[in-house]
């Protein structure tokens, strides 16, 4: 299942040191915003199980068994526990937002420069204030071109 457009923007990415090669500390904080997002994912698990496993459906003839979360994970509490343990995200979106220095949520300026860290720029999906959608390549490419132009302009001087 893919969940896009999460209203949760509570995730964080923290720099561990001044060395730009050190891995940052990434905390997704999924399902921490008090929304019903986790309940909706549980509903999705139940729907997919019904669609694929219930005898009489067209798909049931092709599915031998459920691998994950597994037939033993049946209650809402068990499904929630499984989801929290195994959920992942490949887009740490909106964790290093671009904005002005007086914006408490902003981490970078319009040139991709990280506030308070010299010689470090960010140009990925983390700079957006809101999730740009299912296929964020175009906005990332546009931001990349803009920030690359800023870097090029600086070094041509």
- Express each pLDDT in 137-153 by its tens digit: 899 999 999 999 999 99
The pairing of beta strand 106-108 with beta strand 25-27: unpaired
Residue 3, pLDDT score: 62
Residue 71 shares a structural domain with residue 28: yes
* Whether residue 95 sits in one domain with residue 81: no
Instruction: Supply the range of the domain harboring residue 142.
Output: 91-156
Residues 107 and 66 in one domain: no
Q: State the catalytic residues.
A: 91
**Residue where one domain finishes, among candidates 46, 64, 86:** 86
Last residue of a domain, one of 86, 111, 131: 86
pLDDT tens-digit readout, 52-66: 988 888 888 888 889
Residue 92 banded pLDDT, cuts 50, 70, 90: low
Domain identity same for 81 and 118 = no
Q: Are residues 80 and 97 in the same domain?
A: no
Q: Evaluate whether residue 97 is within a structural domain.
A: yes
What would the pLDDT profile of 98-157 be if each residue is shown by its tens digit? 999 999 889 999 999 999 888 889 898 889 888 787 788 899 999 999 999 999 998 887
Check whether residue 18 and residue 41 sit in a common domain.
yes
Give the number of domains in the chain: 2
Of the given ranges (16-30, 39-53, 57-71, 93-107), which has the lowest mean pLDDT?
A: 16-30
Pick from 5, 35, 7: which is nearest to 132 by CA?
5
Which of 64, 86, 108 corresponds to the end of one domain? Answer: 86
> Over 80: is that where the pLDDT of 16 sits?
yes
Name the percent of the chain lying above pLDDT 90.
32
- Residue scoring higher pLDDT (92 or 62): 62
Average pLDDT, the chain: 85
- Specify whether 77 is located in the same domain as 44: yes
Is pLDDT of 31 > 90? no
């Amino acid at each position: 299942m893919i969940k896009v457009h999460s209203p949760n923007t509570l995730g964080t990415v923290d720099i561990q040191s001044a060395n730009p090669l050190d891995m940052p500390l990434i905390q997704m904080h999924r399902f921490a915003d008090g929304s019903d997002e986790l309940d909706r994912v549980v509903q999705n698990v139940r729907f997919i199980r019904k669609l694929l496993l219930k005898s009489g459906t067209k798909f049931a003839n092709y599915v031998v068994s459920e691998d994950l979360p597994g037939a033993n994970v049946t209650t809402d509490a068990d499904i929630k526990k499984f989801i929290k343990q195994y959920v992942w995200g490949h887009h740490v979106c909106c964790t290093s937002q671009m904005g002005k220095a007086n914006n408490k949520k902003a981490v970078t300026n319009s040139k991709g420069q990280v506030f308070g860290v010299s010689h470090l720029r960010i140009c990925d999906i983390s700079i957006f204030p809101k999730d740009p959608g299912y296929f964020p390549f175009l906005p990332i490419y546009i931001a990349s071109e803009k920030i690359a132009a800023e870097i090029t302009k600086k070094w041509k001087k």
